[in-house]
Amino acid sequence: MSPIDERGLRELMVESDDLQSDAMRTAERDLDDYVEAVLETHSGRTGSRDPGGMWPGWGKTGLVAGLAGAGTLLAAGPAAATTVDVQALQTAASLENLAVSTYKTALTLPFIGGADANAVVKAFAEKTMAQHTEHAEAFNGAVAKLGGKAQNDPNAKYAAVVQKAVPTIKGAGDVVALAISLEDVAAQTYAKNVSQVSTPELRQLFAGVAGVEAQHKAILLAVKALVDGGAPQLIALPPDAAKLPDAAGSVGFPDAYYPTDKASPVEEGAVK
C-alpha cells in the first residue's frame, strides 16, 4: 500500500478541529431559528426575532413563508408538520450515539487508549468522541424543542455491526477500519439529508456536520495506510520529515464527489 505524507495527516487533524468549531458555532443559532420559525408558523406569530443576519434579506416573515411553502408547515402542528425533519435529527443522533459508544470502547483497548497506544491516535479518538457528543446534543436539542422525543440510543442497525466486530478486534488497524465505516455512514447520511430536510438552517447544519465526519474519515484513512504499511511509528506530531515518503496524501480522499449510497434512511433511527 502506498505510504502517506504525515504532514498531511497533521494538517487534516487541525482542519478537522477547525471545521468542527465552525460547524458547532452556527449550529445552535441555526437550530434555534428553525425551531422558532416552525413554532411561529403554527401559532400565527411573526416578527419576534431576527435570524441574526444569517440569511441576508430574509426577515422572520419571509423565513416563515419559505418554511410553509417548503414543508406545508401549517398542517397539524409542529410535530406532525415536521415529521421528516424530526426523524432526520433523531436518526442523526442515533449515529452520533453509536460513534460515541464505539470510540469509548476503543479507548479501553491498550493499543488505542492504553499504555501501548500511539499518542496521536489516542488524541484523535478522544477529540473525535467529544465532537460526536456535541453533535448528538445539538440534534437532540432541536428534537426536544420541536416537541419530539430525544434519541438517546445508538443506531440499532449499526450497533449490531459493531457488536459483531468488537470480539474480532486484534489491533489498532481493526479499530480504525471499524471507525472508518461508521464515520462514512454518518457523512453520507448527512450529505443526503441536505436534500431531504425542509429549511436552510437544517440544510446548513447537516452540510456542516457532514464535512466534519468526512474529515474524520480522511484522517482515519491516512492512519490506516500507515498502520497497514507497517509504519505506525510515522504517526507522530510533529512528524520526522526526513523519514517521510513522498506524497500519497490522496489516500484520505478516495472520492471526487462524496457518495450517498450508504446513507441511512431518514426514519432508520427515529424514535417510535
Which helix or strand (DSSP H or E) is residue 20 part of?
A: helix 6-43
* Axis crossing angle, helix 83-106 with helix 119-145, rounded to the nearest 10: 150
Is the previous residue joined to 238 through a cis bond, with omega within 30 degrees of 0? yes
CA 211 to chain centre: 7
Can you list the domains of the chain with their CATH numbers? 6-28+83-252 (1.20.1260.10)
Question: Can you spell out the DSSP letters for 146-182?
Answer: TT-----SPPHHHHHHHHHHGGG--SHHHHHHHHHHH
Show the cell assigned to 69: 411553502
Q: What is the pLDDT of residues 36-74, one digit of tens each?
A: 766 666 555 544 443 333 333 333 333 333 333 333 333
User: How far apart are the C-alpha atoms of 242 and 97, rounded to whole Å?
Assistant: 41
Q: What is the pLDDT of residues 64-121, one digit of tens each?
A: 333 333 333 334 444 443 789 999 999 999 999 999 999 999 999 999 999 888 888 8
Helices (H) and strands (E) in the chain, counts: 8, 0
Do residues 267 and 92 make contact, with C-beta atoms less than 8 angstroms apart?
no
Q: What is the pLDDT of residues 105-162, one digit of tens each?
A: 999 999 999 988 888 889 889 989 998 999 999 899 888 888 899 999 999 999 999 9
To the nearest whole percent, how much of the chain has pLDDT over 70?
63
User: How far apart are the C-alpha atoms of 52 and 250, rounded to whole Å?
Assistant: 39
Cα dihedral sign, 187-188-190-194: positive
Do residues 58 and 66 make contact, with C-beta atoms less than 8 angstroms apart?
yes
The predicted model scores a pTM of 0.75
